[in-house]
C-alpha cells in the first residue's frame, strides 16, 4: 500500500497501518509500504511504517521529494533476513541504477540540497491550498483533503459520467491535462479525475480559467 497515496494524496493513519500490519502478520503475509511521497507532507505527521516494525518492507525513490523522476534510482528497506535474497533478485533483474544517477542521489542527500527541497515542499503546499478551493468552486467535489504527494482526486460527475473522454476533450480543446479515474482502478473511475499540481501557481491559475471556460461551453 502507498502512503501518502497516489491519486488521493491521503495518509494512512498510524492506528490503521498498525491494524493492517497486525492482520497481514497474522496471515503470515508481508506488508509492503510505498513511501515514495515521504517528505511531501503538508501540516501532518510525516512518519514511516518502519516506526511500527522492522519486519515491514518499505519502498522509496528519488523521483518525488528529490525531484529526480526519470533518473531511475530508489531504495528498499527490508527485514535483515531478506537482504541476501533481495540482493540476488536485484542482481538478476536490473543489476544497478546508472552510476551518474547514484552520484546525483548522493548529492541530493546533502543538507544543502535539503534546504532547497523543503522550500520546494512548501511551494507544493501553497499550490494545493490554491487548487483545492479553486476546483471546489468550479463544482468538483473532493472527498478528502490531500495531506501529501501533489495530487487532488476530484469527483467530476457534475460535468460528466465519462471522465476519460471528458479529460481528452479538455486536453484537445483547452490544453489542460488531467489523469482520468480509470488510470487508478475501477471504483467510480468514470466519475473521477486526478489533478497534479506539479506546475507553477501561475500555470495552475491559467488552467482553472481554461477549465471554467470549458465547463461553461458544454
Kindly list the distances between the CA atom of residue 61 and the CA atoms of 14, 29, 30, 67, 166, in Å, as whole numbers in the listed order: 22, 24, 20, 10, 32
Kindly list the distances between the CA atom of residue 116 and the CA atoms of 113, 126, 129, 196, 201, in Å, as whole numbers in the listed order: 5, 16, 20, 21, 18
Q: Considering the rule CB under 6 A, would residue 6 count as an interface residue with ligand PLP?
A: yes
- Taking CB under 6 A as the binding criterion, the range among 61-69, 77-85, 101-109, 202-210 that sits at the site for ligand PLP is 61-69
Contact mark string toward ligand PLP, 96..135, x via CB under 6 A: ----------------------------------------
Burial state string for 32-51 with b = 16 or more CB within 10 A and e = fewer than 16: ebbbbbbbbbbeeebeebee
Q: How far is the CB of 208 from ligand PLP (least distance, A)?
A: 23
Q: Considering the rule CB under 6 A, would residue 46 count as an interface residue with ligand PLP?
A: no
Q: Considering the rule CB under 6 A, would residue 61 count as an interface residue with ligand PLP?
A: yes
Among 47, 48, 63, 101, binds ligand PLP (CB under 6 A): 63
Within positions 150 to 209, which residues make up the interface with ligand PLP, using CB under 6 A? none
Among 20, 24, 57, 74, binds ligand PLP (CB under 6 A): 74
Kindly list the distances between the CA atom of residue 218 and the CA atoms of 33, 165, 166, 207, in Å, as whole numbers in the listed order: 42, 13, 10, 17
Cell of 79: 527485514
Q: Considering the rule CB under 6 A, would residue 35 count as an interface residue with ligand PLP?
A: no
Per rule CB under 6 A, count of chain residues that contact ligand PLP: 8
Helix residue ranges, H only, the chain? 14-26, 83-93, 99-108, 111-138, 163-174, 201-217
Q: Considering the rule CB under 6 A, would residue 69 count as an interface residue with ligand PLP?
A: yes
Q: Nearest-CA neighbor of 150 among 71, 68, 39, 59?
A: 39
Give CA–CA dist 217/20, Å, rounded.
46
Q: Considering the rule CB under 6 A, would residue 139 count as an interface residue with ligand PLP?
A: no
- Nearest 5°: the CA angle 7, 9, 13 is 125
Q: With respect to ligand PLP, which residue has the nearer C-beta, 34 or 167?
A: 34
Among 31, 36, 41, 131, binds ligand PLP (CB under 6 A): 36
Q: Considering the rule CB under 6 A, would residue 12 count as an interface residue with ligand PLP?
A: no
Q: Considering the rule CB under 6 A, would residue 40 count as an interface residue with ligand PLP?
A: no
Residues interacting with ligand PLP, by CB under 6 A? 2, 6, 34, 36, 61, 63, 69, 74
Amino acid at each position: 500500500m502507498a502512503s501518502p497515496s497516489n491519486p488521493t494524496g491521503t495518509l494512512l493513519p498510524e492506528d490503521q497501518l498498525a491494524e493492517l500490519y497486525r492482520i497481514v502478520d497474522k496471515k503470515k503475509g508481508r506488508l509492503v509500504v510505498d513511501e515514495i511521497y515521504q517528505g511531501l507532507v503538508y501540516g501532518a505527521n510525516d512518519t514511516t511504517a518502519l516506526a511500527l516494525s522492522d519486519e515491514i518492507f518499505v519502498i522509496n525513490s528519488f523521483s518525488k521529494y528529490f525531484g529526480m523522476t526519470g533518473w531511475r534510482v530508489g531504495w528498499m528497506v527490508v527485514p535483515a533476513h531478506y537482504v541476501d535474497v533481495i540482493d540476488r533478485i536485484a542482481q538478476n533483474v536490473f543489476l544497478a541504477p546508472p552510476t551518474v544517477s547514484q552520484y546525483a542521489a548522493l548529492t541530493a542527500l546533502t543538507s544543502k540540497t535539503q534546504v532547497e527541497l523543503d522550500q520546494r515542499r512548501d511551494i507544493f503546499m501553497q499550490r494545493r491550498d490554491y487548487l483545492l478551493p479553486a476546483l471546489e468552486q468550479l463544482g468538483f467535489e473532493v472527498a478528502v483533503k490531500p495531506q501529501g504527494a501533489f495530487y487532488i482526486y476530484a469527483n467530476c460527475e457534475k460535468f460528466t459520467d465519462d471522465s476519460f473522454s471528458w479529460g481528452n476533450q479538455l486536453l484537445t480543446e483547452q490544453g489542460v491535462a488531467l489523469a482520468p479515474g480509470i488510470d487508478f482502478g475501477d471504483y467510480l473511475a468514470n466519475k473521477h479525475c486526478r489533478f497534479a499540481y506539479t506546475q507553477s501557481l501561475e500555470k495552475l491559475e491559467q488552467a482553472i480559467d481554461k477549465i471554467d471556460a470549458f465547463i461553461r461551453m458544454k
